[in-house]
Chains A and B, each alone.
Chain A
Amino acid sequence: MNKTAKTVIITLLACVLVFGGVLVGMNWGRWFGDKPVAQSGDRLDLDPDAGEYVAPDPVEQQDDGNIAIPGWGSITIPANQTEVTVDFPNPEANAGKYYLTFELRLKDTGEVLYKSGLVEPGLHIQHITLSRPLQAGTYTAVIHIQPYKMDEAQTPTNNADMETELIVV
């Protein structure tokens, strides 16, 4: 056997080895890997992970959190004016959790005298414009406080109607 023939044979053997290695590598998982139990044959097998239902431990009831709502015994405003001073606060306790809105209305008629936008925790509304001036007297008013979650959806939550005396002097 001459030198040229030896070189050709060695080259061919090398090619066969490389090609074989690549072929084995590409099919290793299929030929030697773990086969899914349920697909090991032509028919489905029973899954060994299946068992009787075991109820998970009950998760301790989580407190969704409470919303701090301010209260007023009475509110005094001047007669025959629409620009009046009040104090509608969103308590600091709601920080990071809830916006509040305030709606002032007369209890007897339901007439809305004022409605705010969202108030951030720790901030107050102190100057409001009523929808109309009121004559002197004492009225029963309702301040409807609607909290909203401080998330993108601003979901409304449970709310409160604070009944209070509106004293107009």
Chain B
Amino acid sequence: MKKRLIASALVLIIALVTALPTFAAPITAPGSGSATLTYSVGSTYSISIPESISLEKVGNIVSGSGTLCVASGTLIDYGQELTVKVSGANTDPVNGFRLKNGDNNEFLNYDLKYGSAQNEINTAVTANDTEILAVAAGTVNEVNCYLSYTVTSDITVAGTFSDILTFTIGLGNA
């Protein structure tokens, strides 16, 4: 008697377990089920900026160069672009970019130019907040922007002249 009871209980349990999937997802027609998969990827990027404006006199020309680089692996939302603008701490509306001599009011004007290759640095930047680079979404490789600085003023005072550049990096619609 006891064995029969145990056997009946086991059969009942097996029957219930087997029936469970039927209640979980009623199939109305073959192939009509659906599922939504979501995977969010946040924008991420890394950029490297030149440390300083380094100048050297070769012949009669005082000049220097630098490179701004957007590292590979940049991820930007579709339809957006990453832009880089440049501003100088001593830029003047009339004279453009300038190097300053310490705390004195002595300045040297310089030409700031940029380009996408070292032998094509020919686009002049004349005012602060000028866009020098735009990287579109989907760009996977490293992107470089080459900069050159050339002093255009006559040097009449000895001393150390410098300028600090601020690179403004933002994401916006392409």
- Seen from chain A, the residues whose Cβ lies within 8 Å of a Cβ on chain B are 55, 58-59, 61-74, 91, 93, 98, 147, 149, 156-164
B48 pairs with A161, CB closer than 8 A: no
A68 pairs with B46, CB closer than 8 A: yes
- Seen from chain B, the residues whose Cβ lies within 8 Å of a Cβ on chain A are 42-54, 56, 58-59, 64-69, 71, 75-77, 82, 164-171
B169 pairs with A163, CB closer than 8 A: yes
Q: Secondary structure of the B side of the interface?
A: strand
A73 pairs with B44, CB closer than 8 A: yes
Name the distance in Å between B121's Cβ and chain A's nearest Cβ: 13
Residues of B within 8 A of A69 (CB): 46-49, 169
Residues of A within 8 A of B165 (CB): 158-159
Residues of A within 8 A of B42 (CB): 73-74
Name the distance in Å between A168's Cβ and chain B's nearest Cβ: 16
Tell me, in angstroms, the Cα distance from A71 to B66 when the chains sit together.
20
Q: List 13 A-B contacts (CB under 8 A).
A: A65-B51, A66-B48, A66-B68, A67-B51, A69-B47, A71-B46, A72-B43, A159-B49, A159-B167, A160-B166, A160-B168, A163-B168, A163-B171
Residue of A nearest to B68 (CB): A66
A64 pairs with B50, CB closer than 8 A: yes
B167 pairs with A158, CB closer than 8 A: yes
Tell me, in angstroms, the Cα distance from A74 to B76 when the chains sit together.
11
